[in-house]
Structure formats: C-alpha cells, structure tokens
Amino acid sequence: MKMKWGNKDVETAVPLLPEFVSERNNFEGASVSGAVFNVSTTIVGAGIMSIPATMKVLGVIPAFILIFVIAVLSEISARFLLKYTHCGDSTTYAGVMAESFGRLGGLAVQICILITNIGALIIYLIIIGDVLSGSQSDGTVHLGVLQQWFGVQLWNTRPIALLFIVLFVLLPLVLLRRVESLRFTSAISVLLAVVFVGISAVIALSALWEGKTKTPRLLPDLVNQASFFDLFTAVPVIVTAFTFHFNVHPIGAELRRPCDMVSAVRISLILCSIIYCSVGFFGYLLFGDSIMSDILVNFDRNSGSTISSLLNDTVRLSYALHLVLVFPLLNFSLRANIDELLFAKSPILASDNNRFWALTCGLLGLIYIAAIAIPNIWYFFQFMGSTTAVCLAFIFPGAIVLRDVHEVSTGSDRISAAVMIVLAIVTSSIAISTNITNLTRSKL
C-alpha cells in the first residue's frame, strides 16, 4: 500500500514496520490526533524534569520567554524539514539532508540521532531506576518507591527492578511495528504529564495557602560575570526538551494526509509549552532555590506541604510511567536510523524479521547495561543538548534552507534559517565552555 507524501508516493512499510501483510493492506493512515499525541510524547521526555531548575538559573520571566522562543524556532525548523521533504525524493531526515549535502550530510544526521536517542533512552532508564530503587546524591541516600514500601530487598535493587521493566514492559512496546500502534500509550503518556503538572500544582498551592512556599525570582541573580555565562547553561536543557525532529518523518509518513503534520506539530508544541511552563513555575514555587536538576529528588524529601506522602509517590510513579511510554517512540527512530546506517543496501527492515529482532533486542540490552553501569550522566545530558540535539533541531534544518537545492526557500525563510543557526552556535558554544569551566572548577 502506498500513501501520498507531498508530490510523491511513499511506501508506508518503509518508515516503520507493518506487523502483517493484511494489517498493511487494511491500514488507511493515522489520524491527526494520534500524530499530536505521538509528537507530544516525543517532546515531553526527561526534559520536563529539569525545567524547574532552569527557572532557578534564569528566573521565571526569562525562562517563560526562552520556552516560547525555542518552541517557535522548533515549529519553524520542523516546517522547513517538511517543506523540503515534500519537494524532494527522500522520506527520512537523513535522506533530506543527503539531498542537500551528500552522503556526509545524511551520515551526520544519523550519527546525531544515534547519540541523542541512545543518550535520552539511557537517561530514561536511569530515572526509572531512581524512582523504583532509589539513588545517591551528594552523599545522601534517597530510597526508591519500592524500597519505601517493602524495605530494601534483593528483588527491588536497581539491576533486578530494571530488568523486570525491560523484559515485561519495554520489550513488548518496542516490538510494536507502527508508530500509530502507540497512539493510545502516547495519549496515556501525555495524560500522565498533565497529572504530574496537576499534582505539582496542588502541592504548591496547598503550601502557598499555608505560607510555606518559596518566593520565586522573576529575574536572574547576576552577581558577577560568571553568573551571566551560567545563564547559557539553561539553553541546552530547553533545546533538548523540544527536540523531536527525528520523529517528524516516521509519524508524518503514516498520516492519511502527511501535509497535516504541520498542524500536528504546532498543536503539540503549544500543548508541551503549557506543560513546561506549568511544571517549571509550580516546581520552583514549591522548592525555590533548593530545586534539584532532577525535581523527583525534591519530591523524595519533605516538601513542606500537608499533602500526604501518597501524593509524592504518585508524582514519582506517574513520571516514571510517563518515561516508560515515551521510550518506544524514541526507540523507533533510533532503530530505523541504525538499520539505515549499517544495512543501507539490505532489504527493508520489514522483510527481515531476524534483523528486526536482533536490532531491537541488541539496543534494549545495550541501554539496560549502560543504565546500570553509569551512575550519573547529567553533564552528558547538558553537552548532548549543546551539540547533537541543537544540530537536529536547528542547525541542520537551517542549513538545508540556506543550501536550497530545490530552490523553494523565500527571503524570510533564509533570514529565519540564518538567525536560527547563529543563535544555536553562539549559545551552544557559550554553554559548552561554561560547563567545562564549571566542571573543571568543581574538581579543583
């Protein structure tokens, strides 16, 4: 079965995989609502957890402005990608880049997607492990939900708890062969993000009523030059929180009318911006400058609220379940890009079950081992947002427009692309140098 992507026919079996031939023949295309949920789920991943910490660095007003600006730039860059997909012959991000910059351009996209998605999936599994089995931060032991409920047992240690999640929860989800198959889990994931916002708001407003909240700073506290450059370290966190471009093509290719992907992206960005602003404000209102880079650590402490510990556990578990449901969406694009990178001349993945199972299980096993072996990768998370994520979200789409191999870009497109690239390079360079300086200083 073929579906129309812009001015060309696209095999629906190529972006993702049909489970059975009969299912492929009966598949009439995904709905816009399903695309909205899938894009929103891709966006709201681990980034939501660090948004309150960015408000501590920036202040409330600049953080809101930055979220809005990056959301707008993300919409523009996604529109650029879709525009050049419609005009060209490629149906993947790497293919569109290769049309403009040759094989090296496509290879650069594949490597960035690989690094970004593997890093994000490892972070997801580490956070799930922290929620279930606890963690240690600055010499303080934070018990997980399972350990608080049942005590420290062999079966609720991190390796065993995560192994259970990987085998009996994540594996069945990543074996689903269409993105559209995940529309219901994506809807639940978005609902859980809303629940996370709602419970955080209830706890914060309850504490506000009792006069126990912290007074949030509306503007950054600039005491010296170093503190000014520290502001730029918040940019990669929000950039990573809005990086979804690697899933634009897989999700869009399954739509009944792929041109509806622009509307789906716009709706998703509005929804996710509201979620980010709400979580950031209520989290910062509740914990003030004591907010951690992982807000779940704060919920593990005494929040100062009269709400019972049951609400705190609900916040942590709902967030962990949200990440479980985000996991398969990132895995889709990761698996497809690795297959395209390693087996470019082989038959499509849909026709080779052995290769599909080997890639799926191999990736899941690698991510599990890394999540057990790496105790903390937050610095890597920041550097990822300053390099691969910013390339996927802004630099590559902007470069495609400036190259303009199909001669379809307008003057405003080229200006937007140039501004996007300059802002991305300047802010990322400052963020990287500041992070290196802070990391070096902390070890002296």
Domain borders along the chain are: 2-443
Instruction: Return the beta strands (E) in 97-220 as ranges.
Output: 135-137, 140-142
Q: Long-range contacts of range 437-443, CB-CB < 8 Å, 24 or more positions apart? A: 438/230, 438/233, 439/379
Distance of CA 368 to the CA centre of its chain: 18
* pLDDT reported for residue 264: 92
* pLDDT reported for residue 399: 95
* pLDDT reported for residue 38: 85
Q: What are phi and psi of 136, to 5 degrees?
A: -125, 125
Rounded distance, CA 153 to CA 272, Å? 38
Contacts for 239 with CB less than 8 Å, ≥ 6 apart? 70, 385, 386, 389, 390, 393, 394, 424
- CATH code: domain 2-443 is 1.20.1740.10
The answer to whether 325 and 192 are in contact (CB under 8 A) is yes
Rounded distance, CA 182 to CA 205, Å? 34
10-residue stretch averages of pLDDT, the chain, 444 residues long: 44 40 51 85 77 84 92 94 87 89 92 88 88 73 80 86 94 79 76 82 81 76 63 82 87 79 93 90 81 69 55 82 85 84 77 86 94 70 78 94 90 93 88 76 62
Rounded distance, CA 429 to CA 416, Å? 20
* pLDDT reported for residue 314: 82
Rounded distance, CA 298 to CA 144, Å? 13
